A and B are shown apart, each in its own frame.
Chain A
Amino acid sequence: MLTISGSPHLHGDNSTKKIMYGVVTAMLPAMVVAIWYFGLGALEIIVLSVGFSLFFEWLIQKYLIKGPLTITDGSAMVTGILLAFNVPSNLPWWMIIIGALVAIGIGKMSFGGLGKNIFNPALVSRVFLLVSFPVAMTSWPKPSPITKTLVDTITGPTPLGFVKEGLGAGKTLAELSQHLPGYGQQLMGQMGGSLGEVSALALIIGGIYMLWKKIITWEIPVSVLVTVFVFSGILWQIDPLHYTNPVFNLLTGGIMLGAIFMATDMVTSPMTRGGQLLFGFGIGLITMLIRVWGAYPEGVSFAILLMNSVVPLINKGFKPKRFGTVKMAA
């Protein structure tokens, strides 16, 4: 039988599946670090989060939507891992299951499934968990290499939280910084935080991998990070006693995870490079506003969700340059 179909008759070998599993691969280094520092608790959270994300997607597609089953496309797995990355490693097991339900059910399926959601599903769920279980979501286990302890881990604040609280209590940065992890520890991830956000190095390796595989482009991560660096740098220049330095701002908190893995989510980010730069700038700016003047020590999640909501607008404003259209004289 001869097939008759319109051109083109060739198709590239890229696919949604390849992209999604590429993202999963890029998250492996951060996963390894998480398990290294936070032990089996981290592994448990990741397994539960991924397993139930896949399960809920299957359940909803099979019994509610009664449409095609797409759990093998990798997107639910990505959401599951990202959700796990955004919670503390000692989160009670049932909370992460609720989280998976919110991420997949509300964050993704209620919009119509893959590609139709406005907000990053993992972040929708993270914010839901943060609001619903504020204590559990902000008690951070202290990292200790898996080889050293298998006893109950001790909890403590994240560096950002510690600084914010300390400054609020009238302490100076000089006093506080003695108790902070060094840059090396920050880079490696030996500090309190959500299980996937701690190691800047592991996240950057993943980011480079995604750039190499052309899964993401540089615009979003770079614009987020540059904005944070510049913004915090200016404040630090003005008053180094009350504002943390830009390197600290880049290496702690969820900014690396957010910039590299959450903000770059294709579905919920702008389509053109110009739009992506604005989007990244907005995320960096809102993050810093929350960190410096907001009620929470960290604001990356809110910043990304806020910017997600204006993506349709950004897409209207930032069109690609059309061939053969003369630029308006400015």
Chain B
Amino acid sequence: MGFLKTFVLGGIHPPENKLSAGKPIRSLSVPVQVVVPMGQNLGAPSKPVVKRGDKVKTGQLIAEAGGFISSNVHSPVSGTIFKIDNMMDASGFRRPAFIIKVEGDEWMDGIDNTETFVKDVTLSSEEIIAKVKNAGIVGMGGATFPTHVKLMVPPGRNAEYLIINGVECEPYLTADHQLMLEKGPEIVVGTKILMKALKVNRAVIGIENNKPDAIKLMRDLTAEEEGIVVQPLKVKYPQGGEKQLIKAVTNREVPSGKLPIEVGCVVQNVGTAFAVYEAVTKNKPLIERVVTVTGKALENPSNLRVRIGTPVRALVDEAGGFPDDTGKIIGGGPMMGKALATLDVPVVKGTSGILLQREEAAHRPVEGPCIRCSKCTQVCPMGLEPFLLSRLARVGNYEAAEGEGVMDCIECGSCQYTCPAKIPLLDYLRLGKNKVGVLIRARTKR
């Protein structure tokens, strides 16, 4: 089938290990207690609108956006607010959270909690954006950027393309793949809603070639749809990165330090498109999501639909229970996910997967000296020199690291994955990004 599209610079191909591929999505029953972090988005934390002891219904607003880049949070269950406290969540952060004791499952009025398929949407762009905002939707691929903000094209910019990210390039994860297979029509409607919100007439659904069934299905579903095309992509990590995906699909390069809208593109994950569908056609806020629970020692790797706030332990139990020789629990995929300290953290809006690694795989290999092989540079999708940046960060020369482009690093981990000397390059890159971030903020304040 000739050359498949992909991004140009760097990239790697780690073993895919999609253990849960093709496993139908199962709904996990509502737990007895949920922990719902207040801020589940990139940006400002949300502000609580309920207090301890309050009764809440499923889908009820419990915290509202605390700034422009922020999002609403809804109760994923019905019950009583038991406590508001700082808790660690599955993204690895400690933040204020609602602890809710579950009583029954009584939904807010006006939410359509059925599976009935709604095809037609007559709302205007502004109405759609308002609904998306109300529903508290954030990027569900893991970045958790508030979706409504992405839909508001800044003055002077023009959106041309909506790109739906069905790449799922992280090894092990299959939630998006399975969602496409089971909720294809809904995702297509979600895509059309997003196109309307953005006032664009072209949308591209990007799917890596290791999911031929999803490519075929989405192609069939969009055959009659004006302006929507499905673009198969060569399998290469990190193709799901926004900038890489835009490059792969449109051959446009988002300039360093700029947002995708600079080149007329807006990227939304397939999970987000589905959430948008539910929010707009059914008034359903983002209170549940599909999570891949996987790992080589796990009995039954699964794709589960779970309420936000469900403890990770419940997901692992559903997938066959916690294996004895587990050495690491990862929230997200193995390349960009975060290691978790316990199973007692809740699923949040950005939790795409839970991966259990065996003891033997959990440890980092022993680090040796850099042999200047330049492999890190060859695989960096941003064209950076990780060996140099990490050295600069290590010695504290952050000004130089900034000049060498450390802020462009998307933390994909390709360099560290590839490094034959097993240097924890990304640790140093993150340090460098943090420190340079401080420098930049200090500069702009003055």
Contact = CB atoms under 8 A, between A and B. Distances in A.
Bind each other: yes
Contact of B326 (A2, A113, A114): A2
Nearest to A319: B385
B256 A19 contact: no
A267 interface: yes
Contacts of A70: 368
B298 to A, nearest CB: 15
Residue from the set A12, A269, A320 with the largest chain B CB neighbour count within 10 Å: A12
Contacts of B361: 9
Contacts of B328: 2-5, 9
Contact of B418 (A12, A116, A267): A12
A1 B362 CA distance: 10
A10 B14 contact: yes
Nearest to A9: B334
Given A10-B171, A10-B334, A5 B377 contact: no
B372 A14 contact: no
Q: Which 10 A-B pairs have the closest CB atoms?
A: A8-B413, A322-B383, A115-B369, A324-B256, A271-B374, A3-B362, A266-B373, A9-B334, A10-B334, A323-B382
Interface residues of B, number: 65
Contacts of A178: none
Interface in A1-46: 1-12, 14-16, 18-19
A275 to B, nearest CB: 9
A7 B420 contact: no
Nearest to A4: B339
B381 A14 contact: no
B422 A15 contact: yes
Interface of A: 1-12, 14-16, 18-19, 70, 73, 75, 113-116, 266-269, 271-272, 319-326
B326 A15 contact: no
Interface string B346-379: 0000000001010001111100111111110100
B330 interface: yes
Given A2-B326, A9-B357, A15-B420, A320 B385 contact: yes
Nearest to B8: A323
Contacts of B411: 7
A14 B364 contact: no
A189 B152 CA distance: 71
Contact of B417 (A1, A11, A324): A11
Contact of B243 (A267, A268, A323): A323
B369 A116 contact: yes
A267 to B, nearest CB: 5
A3 B342 CA distance: 10
A114 to B, nearest CB: 5
Nearest to A1: B327
B50 interface: no
Contacts of B418: 12, 14
The DSSP consensus for interface residues of chain B is: loop
Contacts of A4: 328, 339-341
Nearest to B371: A115
B255 interface: yes
Interface in B414-446: 414, 416-418, 420-422, 424, 426-427, 430
A272 B332 CA distance: 33
Contact of B368 (A8, A10, A16, A320): A16
B424 A12 contact: no
B424 A6 contact: yes
A320 B255 contact: no
The DSSP consensus for interface residues of chain A is: loop
A289 B374 CA distance: 30
Contacts of B171: 10
A4 B427 CA distance: 13
A267 B373 CA distance: 7
B233 to A, nearest CB: 17
A101 to B, nearest CB: 21
Nearest to B337: A7
A325 B258 CA distance: 11
Given A15-B365, A320-B383, A8 B335 contact: yes
A11 B416 CA distance: 7
Given A2-B326, A14-B375, A114-B371, A324 B254 contact: yes
A322 B372 contact: no
Nearest to B262: A324
Given A10-B334, A15-B420, A115-B369, A320 B243 contact: no
B14 A321 contact: no
B202 interface: no
Given A11-B416, A11-B417, A323-B243, A6 B371 contact: no
A116 B370 CA distance: 8
B243 A266 contact: no
A14 B420 contact: yes
13 contacts: A4-B339, A8-B413, A8-B416, A9-B335, A9-B361, A12-B14, A15-B420, A269-B372, A271-B385, A272-B374, A323-B382, A323-B383, A323-B408
B338 interface: yes
Contact of B382 (A73, A75, A322): A322
Contacts of A325: 255-256, 383
B230 interface: no
Interface string B35-50: 0000000000000000
Contacts of A19: 371, 373, 420
Residue from the set B257, B374, B405 with the largest chain A CB neighbour count within 10 Å: B374
B362 A326 contact: no
A3 B381 contact: no
B339 A9 contact: yes
Contacts of B258: 324
Given A113-B369, A271-B372, A272-B377, A11 B341 contact: no
A11 B424 CA distance: 10
Contacts of B424: 6
A269 B371 CA distance: 11
Nearest to B363: A3
B28 interface: no
Nearest to A326: B255
Interface in B144-197: 171
A21 to B, nearest CB: 12
B338 A321 contact: no
Nearest to A14: B420
Contacts of A73: 368
A324 B255 contact: yes
Given A12-B418, A325-B255, A266 B374 contact: yes
Nearest to A114: B369
Contact of B372 (A15, A267, A321): A267
B384 interface: yes
